[in-house]
Structure formats: C-alpha cells, structure tokens
Structure 1
Amino acid sequence: MLNILLSGVGGAMGHMLQTIIGEDPDCQIVAGFDINTDQDTPFPVYSDLSQCAEKADVIIDFSHYKAFDSIFGYARDTKTPIVIATTGLSEANLADIEAGSKEFPVFRTANMSLGINLLAKALRDMAGALEDGFDIEIIEKHHNKKADAPSGTALLLADAVNDGLENKKDYTFGRYGRDCKRNPQELGIHAVRGGTIPGEHTVLFAGNDELIEIRHTALSKKVFASGAVTAAKYLVDQAPGLYNMEMLIDN
C-alpha cells in the first residue's frame, strides 16, 4: 500500500486526487496539508507539517506556489519523495528543487498529462524541421481562477520548441501597442482566462501560405490527477535525483 501525503487538499485538484486515490486499491492518503484544516476528510489535515505524525511514502503537491517552502522543506527534512505539480515557482524555488534532488527523489513537471508530455517530445523534432520560414506562437486557455500566467505548460512547450531549434527564440508574453511588428526571433506566448476551461494549449507554426496547428485539450482535471498518482508510484522506487514525465514515459 502506497501511503500518500496530499498537499493542497482543499483545492480543485486536491478533491480530484482524493477521488482518484480513493478508487485505487494500492494507494491511500494518510495525511493532508492545506491552509484550511477544516476539511471533511477521513485523514488529518495540517497547516503546520511539524505537527504531522503520520508516515508517508510519497508527497503529491498540487498546492499554491506560496506554500512551496513549507511542503518542500518538510520533504527535505524527512527525505520523503515528492511529486511537484505546482506551477508559478520562482527561480529560488527551482534552485531548491535542484539541490534537494541530490538528497531524495523529486519529480517535477509543469503538466501531469501524458498527452502534453508526448506533445513536448514531438515539438522538439518538429521545431528543427520548421525553423526556417515559420513563426511560432503558443496560445493557452484556462479557467478564470488560475493565478499564474502564462501557464507552466505553455512554458514547458516553449522550452521543448527551443530545445529543437539551432537558433533559440526569445519569449514574448502577449503584445500591446502601436509598434508591435513581429520580430523573427520571437516566440509568442499568450494567455486566455475564462469560465471553467480545464486547460487548452495550441502551438502554431505559421509559414508562408501554410499553417500548422497542434492542440491539446484537457476535458477534465482527471487526467492530471491520474498522472500524478502514476508519477508517485514511479518515484518511490527511484534513487535520489530529479525526475520528470518524459523519464517516466521512457521507463
């Protein structure tokens, strides 16, 4: 039985993970972490993890980026493997992840969807072939409660494109003004927010007289929750190091 500490219990992804894990006979949530401890859950929820007495095999973190220091500090102190799905992390946070992964297993990805990560792999191959003569733009759409922009997934896809290019692009986040003629060195990234959109990402290759669009649409948050549980099962058997979804896919 895989014992999980769930960070971000009260959020939409936290509720979805409770459902997914509850349906998995090989997993159980033994404790939760959330700013709001008044939760209707069969496990204890802590706002201060120093009070947590339960032993977890792995942490799944879908909390707000402001909670990162608390949850990652606990993982580092207890050497508990952690799956990080929180986006909006700072450069300092990423440096902490890199340092911590030398001591215990850390899994980080901007998107837990298998489809998105396969798309990222494909973009690396496509980008090099389309480097000459094509402008590249990324449009991402999310629900109106998403705090960070652009999405971590949009940046993941942009990085994948750049990995495949000989001449790296400069990221341009939206455009506004009277003198915004496109620079060939740009890779445009645009964020749309509205309604209850779970997540949609489009990568656009615009050439002379031809247009290639690749789109991934998440129809529910279930794909992300399922991916996080798969990552947790993978991570507990790994040595200290920094892991991602592409490594899981290739495993």
Structure 2
Amino acid sequence: MSRVLVTGAASGLGAALVAKFVAEGHQVLSTDVAEEGEGTTYLKLDVRRAEDWDAAVTWCEQNWGGLDILVNNAGIATGGRIDVETLDEWDRVVDINLMGVVRGCRAFTPLFKRQRSGHIVNTASAAGLVHPPMMSSYNTVKAGVVALSETLSHELHPYGVTVSVVCPSFFRTNLADSIRGADSAMGATARQLIEKSPRSADDIATAVLAGIKKKQFLIIPDRPAAMAWRTKRFARPLYNRQMRKIAERARQRAETTNG
C-alpha cells in the first residue's frame, strides 16, 4: 500500500486518479485550491504558493512518516494565437502548469532523497510532445513539464527515485471551464475538442495507474496521443503537413471572421 498525494484532485483527471488509488487500497491525500474537500483525506494546496507545498510536506511527514507517490496533476487549459493571447495569460499558465509542477518537485525531493525512494508523476499532455498551431502557451508549458520530468528521471535515479510523465490527448473533463483569455475563437475550439472526446477521465486514469505500476517514464494513455507522437518521430513530413493544414484552416476562419 502506497502513500499518495494528488494535486488538482477535486475534479477531472485528479478526481479519477484519487478514486483509482483508493479503490486499490492506497492511502491518498487529495489536494486542491478549495478550503474543504470531499471523500478522502483533504488538504488545501494552491500549487502557486510555496508555503502550501511546505505545509503538504510537513503533513506527510507528521501523519504518514513520508510519501511514496507525488502526482503533480493540477493545471488549467489555455491557448491562442501568438499575437492575440496576452502576456498576462502566459504568466498565469506558466505559474500554474509549469511552475506548479516545479514547486511540487522541489518541495518533495529532499524527502524522497532522505527516504532513498519515491515516485514523481507529472501530468503533462500530448501537447508536450506534439505542438499544434494556436497553442503556443499550452504547448510550451507542457513541453517544459516533459523536459523537467526527463531531467529529474536522471538526476534522482541515484537516490532510488523514479519519475513518470503523463501525456494524454483530449478527454472529457471540466478542464474546459478553466479556459479564458483574449483568443475566444481558439478557446471555443479547445472546449469542443474536450467535450466531444470519446475518452473519459476514468479511461485515462486507468491507463495512468497501469503505467505507474510499471514505473514507465513516458505514459501515453490513449491511441490518438500515441499515433500523433509516432507520426512526429517517424513520419515528420506527414506530421508537418497536418500541422500546416490546421494553421491554414485557422487563417481562413480568422480572415473570414475579420473580413
């Protein structure tokens, strides 16, 4: 039985992961930005606040004597054309989706080093591996999470600490509710892709837990994400053509709307 902390646990993939861990008999600390949670043991944790992370480490040490699995899952959806999305929007998504993961890794690494054990699971996205147009900010932060995870997989290996990074494509969740910003057209497209996906958060969580058990570094939990990644790696001209077609359709829509 493992001791598990999950951020962004109140909804979406976080809630699905918590349910899967609990069903398998693990001890789970659910964390999110709300003052109170439901179901499992809960602690308020805003991933933007270093003091909240310090409190989470203290809680795990005092109540459990340590931690086995840290799941950095909290995040928001964002995106937009480079000349439309504002710099404030960039700051927000970097602070939550990238620096939130950085803060979590920094907070728990000393504990994991002392234990000579631990598993860090960082939720990125297929957007961390393949980079469609009109998604500069989201692609950038998720690619950063992938890079951070790979770095730590090597850096922490001598201490017995393993790292996984999760890269799903679109799946049904309330993540679309976090979309805001100047590029409303791109936001609407992203919402449609999320809400009309045939995959649920529960589907993704099942695949993620299987990957964690195998201690896989790169967990790609659905077929569309895996196919996109393979296309980029092994059929780059085809991948480039697909990305350029998406960009051209967006140009045409923008010019029609503005025309």
Cα drift, residue 223 of structure 1: 0.9
**Who is 2:162 aligned against?**
105
Q: 1:100 to 1:42 in 2, by over 3 A?
A: same
Determine the structure 2 residue equivalent to 1:136.
none
The one-letter amino acid of 1:231's match is G
State the shift of 1:58 in Å: 0.9
Amino acid at match of 1:245: I
Aligned residue for 1:97, secondary structure, equals helix
Query: Per-residue displacement from partner, 1:200-241 (whole Å, max 9, x unpaired)?
Result: 3xxxxxxxxxxxxxxxx31x2111111222223222xxxxxx
Residue pairs, 1:82-93, within 5 angstroms: 82-87=120-125, 88=138, 89-93=141-145
Deviation at 1:11, TM superposition (A): 2.5
Question: Alignment partner of 2:41: what SS?
Answer: coil
Counterpart in 1 of 2:107?
74
- Distance across 2 between alignment mates of 1:32 and 1:144: 18
Q: CA RMSD in A?
A: 3.6
Mapped contact 1:7–1:14 kept (Cα < 8 A): yes
How do 1:148-163 and structure 2 match up within 5 A?
A: none
More helix, by proportion = 2
For the residues of structure 1 that align with 2:110 and 2:32, how far apart are their CA atoms?
Answer: 19
List alignment gaps of at least 5 residues for structure 1.
117-139, 149-190, 201-216, 236-241, 247-251
Q: Distance in 2 between matches of 1:225 and 1:11?
A: 12
Contact 2:7-2:31 within 8 A present in 1 as well: yes
Q: Deviations over 1:157-208 (max 9, x none)?
A: xxxxxxxxxxxxxxxxxxxxxxxxxxxxxxxxxx5423972x63xxxxxxxx
Residues 110 and 94 (structure 1), Cα distance of their counterparts in 2 relative to 1, 3 Å cut: closer
Query: Structure 1 residue 38: deviation in Å?
Result: 1.5
Q: 1:234 maps to what in 2?
A: 214
Q: Are 1:11 and 1:63, in contact at CA under 8 Å, matched by a contact in 2?
A: no
Letter in 2 for 1:106: V
In structure 2, the residue matched to 1:16 is 16
Instruction: Indicate how the Cα distance of structure 1 residues 224 and 91 shifts in structure 2: closer, same or farther if over 3 A, else same.
Output: closer
TM-score (norm 1): 0.50
- How far is the alpha carbon of 1:3 from its aligned partner? 1.7
Inter-partner Cα distance in structure 1 for 2:35 and 2:147: 29
1:100-149: per-residue Cα shift (whole Å, max 9, x none)? 222131111312xxxx8xxxxxxxxxxxxxxxxxxxxxxx686674357x
**Number of residue pairs matched by the alignment:** 156
The AA in structure 2 aligned to 1:107 is: S
TM-score by length of 2: 0.49
Q: Judge conservation of contact 2:149–2:164 (CA < 8 Å) in 1.
A: no
Cα distance change, pair 229–90 in 1 and its aligned pair in 2 (3 A): closer
- Paired with 2:70 and 2:143, the residues of 1 have a C-alpha distance of 22
1:32 counterpart SS class: strand
Partner of 1:3: 3
Q: 1:85 to 1:92 in 2, by over 3 A?
A: closer
CA distance in 2, matches of 1:81, 1:94: 15
3-state SS of 1:101 partner: helix
Cα distance in 2 for partners of 1:90, 1:19 equals 25
Q: Tell me by how many angstroms 1:9 deviates.
A: 1.4
The equivalent residue for 2:53 is 49
- After TM superposition, give the deviation of residue 92 of structure 1 in Å: 4.5
Equivalence for 2:225 = none
C-alpha distance in 2 between matches for 1:233 and 1:68: 21
1:90 Cα shift? Answer: 5.0
Which structure features the higher share of strand residues?
1
**Which amino acid is 1:49 matched to?**
W
Q: Quick one: structure 1 residues 77 and 91, their matched pair in 2 at CA, closer, same or farther if it must change by over 3 Å? A: farther
Quote the offset at 1:39 in angstroms.
Answer: 1.1
SS of the residue corresponding to residue 207 of structure 2 reads: helix
